[in-house]
Amino acid sequence: MRINPKATDKIATGIFYLVALGFIILLVFFVGYIIYQGRLRLNLNFITSAPVFMKAGGGIAPQLFNSVYLVFLSMLITVPIGLSAGIYLAEYAKQNRFTNAIRFCIEALASLPSIVIGLFGLLVFVTMTGWGYTLMSGALAMSILNLPVITRVSEDSLRGVSNSYKEASLALGATHWQTIYKLIIPVALPGLITGIVMTAGRAFGEAAALLYTAGMSSPKLDFTNWNPLAYSSPLNPFRPAETLAVYIWKVNSEGLAPDARQIADGSAAILIITVFVFNIGSRFFGRLIGNKLSGK
């Protein structure tokens, strides 16, 4: 029986389109269901007010701010180290046993469960440093969790740049570092932005590692006090900080409020919307930077 290549190609293409369509429908249904369940709490009062325990009502303002601030601190640590490691592995490291061992360790770290990172953070950042449950402990734990991902993404993005760009730059008299800084990184920027968005989104929705490092409570924050040394200041990185993902778990497990289910549904909807806004904003910002660096 002779197989028609064109018919086979059309069938395979149709199957892949159906699979992609199925994933899109599943994603839309999942996101739509969460937002629909939390629609009654999608209001300004819920976002800007603090929780009220043992009573109905209250909001998620401290938890939402803690999540954004923790992601900022984590990215402040993760991006420079991860990008530097990716540049080293892509442009400077030679293929030998040492670099192979580094890549093996990176892959092993990337597969570690977040709860293991949380227990390590509890031992080192919480106990050994004497900081206790703080934002900084949580940010460092999230940095360990995300460093392997952003390192591999950075390396793959930089290696994906055509060698002709590098050869042309070196032929014009540019140094290796000038070629990396002014040519290779701008060309690889879309992939780098994707890696940063992936790691930031993971940090925003993480709960297991933060239970043991950032804590499950927050001091009463004074949003008029922006002194980072004050305990009640939102900018103080050395204070306990309950993130939004941890708060969702806490509300569902402890049931301290009579409307715990509504609070959890509203918090989940806000979390989903925030992640989407962050991803879209990051990609738009990255595209603007890429166009500027590439001269468009």
Q: Of the segments 18-22, 202-206, 219-223, which one has the largest average pLDDT value?
A: 18-22
64 versus 254: the higher-pLDDT residue is 64
Decide if pLDDT at 290 tops 90: no
* pLDDT, position 1: 52
User: 123 versus 57: which is more confidently predicted?
Assistant: 123
The pLDDT score that the predictor gives to residue 136 is: 93
Whether residue 229 has pLDDT greater than 90? no
Percent of the chain surpassing pLDDT 90 = 26
Burial environment of residue 110 by CB neighbours within 10 A (0 to 12, 13 to 18, 19 or more): middle
Whether 17 maps to a domain, the answer reads no
As a whole number, the mean pLDDT across the chain is: 86
pLDDT tens readout for residues 6-35:
778 888 888 999 999 999 999 899 889 988
Q: Is pLDDT above 70 for 197? A: yes
Mean pLDDT computed over 193-217: 85
In this predicted structure, the answer to whether residue 138 has a pLDDT above a threshold of 80 is yes
Q: State the pLDDT at residue 29.
A: 92
Looking at the 3D structure of the chain, how many domains does it have?
A: 1
Structural domain of 158: 52-293
Please choose, from the candidates 152, 150, 156, 191, the residue with its C-alpha nearest in 3D space to the C-alpha of residue 283: 191
Q: In this structure, is residue 24 part of a structural domain?
A: no
Q: Which domain CATH number covers 139?
A: 1.10.3720.10
Residue 221 phi, psi dihedral angles, 5° rounding: -85, 140
Region 70-85: mean pLDDT is: 92
pLDDT of residue 164: 87
Quick check: is 27 in a domain?
A: no
Q: Coil, strand, or helix at residue 261?
A: helix
Domain membership of residue 221 (yes or no) is yes
Residue 294 to residues 30, 183, 186, 290, Cα–Cα distance (Å): 38, 8, 7, 6
- Distance (Å) of CA 60 to CA 69, 139, 267: 14, 20, 7
73 contact partners, CB below 8 Å, separation of at least 6: 135, 136, 139, 237
pLDDT in the model for residue 139: 93
Residue 222 inside a domain? The answer is yes
Q: Are 74 and 198 in contact (CB under 8 A)?
A: no
Residue 296 in this model has a pLDDT that exceeds 70:
no
- pLDDT for 66 equals 92
Global pTM?
A: 0.86
The model's pLDDT over 142-179, given as tens digits with 9 standing for 90+, comes to 999 999 989 998 998 898 888 888 888 888 888 888 88
- Over residues 97-117, the pLDDT tens digits come to 888 888 888 888 888 888 899
Q: Is residue 151 in a domain?
A: yes
In a domain, 28, yes or no: no
Mean pLDDT computed over 223-232 = 86
Residue 35 lies in a domain: no
